[in-house]
Structures are given as structure tokens and as C-alpha cells.
Amino acid sequence: MAMCPRIELNNGISMPALGFGTFAIPSTQAAEAVRTALMTGYRLIDTAASYNNETEVGQGILRSGIAREDLFVTTKLRIADFGYDEALRAFDTSIGKLGLDYLDLYLLHWPVPTEFEQTLAAYEAAEKLLADGHVRAIGVSNFNARHLDALLARSHVVPAVNQIELNPLFSQRALRDANALHGIVTESWSPIGGEKNVSRVLQNAHIVELATKHKKTAVQIVLRWHLQQGLVVIPRSINPKHIAGNFDVFDFELSSTDMAAINALNVDERGGPDPETFDLATYNALVATRAKEVENAAPSDSGSANPVPRVHA
Ligand SMILES: NC(=O)c1ccc[n+]([C@@H]2O[C@H](COP(=O)([O-])OP(=O)(O)OC[C@H]3O[C@@H](n4cnc5c(N)ncnc54)[C@H](OP(=O)(O)O)[C@@H]3O)[C@@H](O)[C@H]2O)c1
């Protein structure tokens, strides 16, 4: 299998262009999924405090036996922990759960536009963690252009990465341009559509046609589309066949006509929350909804297989 390319960040370090997402992977399955991904060749692992699986992600990393310096591990600060002291404490908790002594990339999970001072204080804490060598790079997630401008006006370190929802139905051209203008790498979450739109993306006739043409799967076509635009991409799966197939994307190329056909699929439609209105109430509502979903999905005789709600925040 060909090597995964790396993308250079604005502080001179580099990260793998393709990584493994862990949102909503039940704690009972997370360690094995991460170990499988690492044995397949993935070296970038993306998690978050709010996914409630940092401990299991850490166990998967440990079980893989792969040297720490060969890995690139990202986690994210929950908005519930925004504020300077709160953020520093939350970082210690995350890194303790992961079983690591440093992190490669620490992201603010969402901006909170209605409490932007708290967002700024959290970012200041991330700057401190960077200065003290606890993290190799810091960044943000779900920041729109105006959130970036407001952050840049009041901070010292330009974020290395902005991780945003991005897939063929929601291609975020303007925000990618804003990121690039500031030297910020764009990382795509829900890159194949996420829970809401995965079937819509993978069953799209144009994508299926390209898959047939290139003798690849629809997911592989979509992942190539991300990679060929210089995006970092972090598909998630608990299926070993999917995990392997999603990493087997370095031996073919989409033409500019193929790329244009996928670009034309954009309908500016989000699957996740809108960063403009994100706040603690939205977060708490998501936790409640997610908890109900988990309860409904739980096997009746053995309790929930996935007892802790995981949310996008
Ligand atoms: N910063 C943020 O706010 C934020 C928000 C959401 C997500 N994220 C990050 O981005 C990562 C990816 O996003 P996501 O998890 O929302 O969605 P995604 O990776 O776009 O889609 C995951 C879905 O695709 C399916 N899938 C994966 N590979 C497949 C294949 N080869 N064939 C068919 N189906 C396939 C998975 O099912 P199977 O398990 O059955 O394969 C799963 O249902 C997350 O895991 C997380 O790390 C960040």
C-alpha cells in the first residue's frame, strides 16, 4: 500500500493527510477500532473529550505497539470546559485518559459566539500549553471566518488547523479560502457525510459512476476528492474492511473533470450544528438527544452497549 502523504502546518510540523475519526465509537469498541486502524497504517487519530472514549483510544494506541513519535494524536476541548483554568485542567484530564505525556494537536471544539470571552480564555490556555511544550500544535474546530477574525485579533498564535464539517454536499469553499488566507490547514469532519448524510453521499449517481470508472469504492472516491484538495481527512468506521478500504486511496488519481463533477454536488447543506448559534444550551440539548438515542439502541437484556452519550461538542 502506498504511503500516506503529510501536510505541513504553519509552525513547521507536519501531520498525516488521512487519519482515523472516533466520534460515536462505543467505548466497548473504540480500543479495537483504533488498534485496527493503526495496524492498517493510519498514524493520525482524532478524538475529543466529549466523545467519552479518550481512555479507550489510549488503550488502542498502547495495544498497537507503535512508537509514540510515529503517531499524531488530536483531542478537543469541550465547550463546557472553556475558560483559562478550566481548559488547563481539562487538558490534564484528557492527556491522563489518553495515557500520553504530550499531544500533537489540541483543538477548541467549537466557538461559543455568545460567550466569546470564554472562548478566547480557552485559546489562551492552549497557547500556554503550546509554549510549555505539552502540545506540538494548537487549533480550532467549527470556527467560521468571523470567529477566526475575532480570535486572531485577540491572540498570539495563528491556529494551525480549523477542523470543519466538509463533504461533497457541503464543501465550504469560502471558509476554506479564509483558512488558507491565514495559513490555517482545513481538516474535514464527516468527510463522507457523517451519520446523517453518508448514504446520500455514497449513493450519489455521479460518485458511483466515478467509483466504477476507477474500480474503487464510492468512499475511496470521496476521500481522494478531499486529499487532492490538500484537506486533512478523518473518516470513521468500526468495520475492519471499511477501515482498510478507507486507507487504500493512494494508488489512483481523480482527473480535473472528475474533481469538477464532485465539486458540482455541493448544496451547502450541513449535517451537524451551526457554529453561529452554538452554545452550552445547544450542547446540553445534543447530550440529551444522544442519551435518548443510546437508550433506544440499548439491548434490553444487558443494558446499554454504549452507555455514555457522545456529542459533537
Ligand atoms: N470537530 C467536530 O465538531 C467534529 C464533528 C463530527 C466529527 N468529527 C470527527 O470527524 C470524524 C469523521 O466524521 P463522522 O464520524 O461524523 O462521519 P464520517 O466519517 O463521514 O462517516 C462515518 C460513517 O460512515 C460509515 N463508513 C465509513 N467507512 C465506510 C465505508 N468504507 N463504506 C461504507 N460506510 C462507511 C461508518 O459506518 P461503519 O462504521 O459501519 O463503517 C459511519 O456510519 C469523527 O469520527 C470525528 O473524529 C469532528
Query: What pLDDT, on the 0 to 100 scale, is given for residue 283?
Result: 84
Tell whether the model's pLDDT for residue 290 goes beyond 50: yes
Model confidence at 275: pLDDT above 60: yes
Cα of 95 from ligand 1 centre, angstroms: 23
Q: Where are the domains of the chain?
A: 6-295
Distance of alpha carbon 3 from alpha carbon 22, whole angstroms: 22
Res. 103: pLDDT tops 90:
yes
Ligand 1: residues within 6 Å at CB?
A: 21-23, 46, 109, 141-142, 163, 189-195, 198, 217, 219, 234-239, 242, 245-246, 272, 312
Residue 95 clears pLDDT 60, i.e. is over it: yes
Kindly give the distance from the C-alpha atom of residue 301 to the centroid of ligand 1, in angstroms, as a whole number.
28
From the CA of 25, how far away is ligand 1's center (Å)? 9
In the predicted model, what is the mean pLDDT of residues 100-129? 97
CB count within 10 Å of CB 89 equals 13
β-sheet with 232-233: strand ranges across? 19-21, 44-46, 72-77, 103-108, 135-141, 161-165, 185-189, 232-233
Say which CATH topology domain 6-295 has.
TIM Barrel (3.20.20)
Catalytic residue (choose from 42, 51, 106, 283): 51
Reply yes or no on whether the pLDDT at 309 is more than 90.
no
- 300 band by pLDDT with thresholds 50, 70 and 90: very low
Can you give the pTM of this predicted structure? 0.95
Report the residue among 15, 18, 20, 23 best suited for mutation to probe ligand 1: largest number of ligand atoms under 8 A from its CB.
Answer: 23
How high is the pLDDT of residue 301? 34
Torsion-angle region of residue 216: left (phi > 0), alpha (psi -120 to 50) or beta?
beta
Instruction: Give the mutation target among 143, 192, 231 for probing the ligand 1 site: most ligand atoms within 8 A of CB.
Output: 192
Contact 20, 42 (CB under 8 A): yes
Cα–Cα distance between 257 and 97 in angstroms, integer? 46
Question: Over 80: is that where the pLDDT of 310 sits?
Answer: no
Please compute the mean of the pLDDT values over residues 37-52 and round it to a whole number.
97
CA distance 262 to 266: 8
Q: How far apart are CA 161 and CA 7, in angstroms?
A: 11
Ligand 1 midpoint to CA 133 (Å): 31
Q: Which three cell numbers stand for residue 48?
A: 475529543
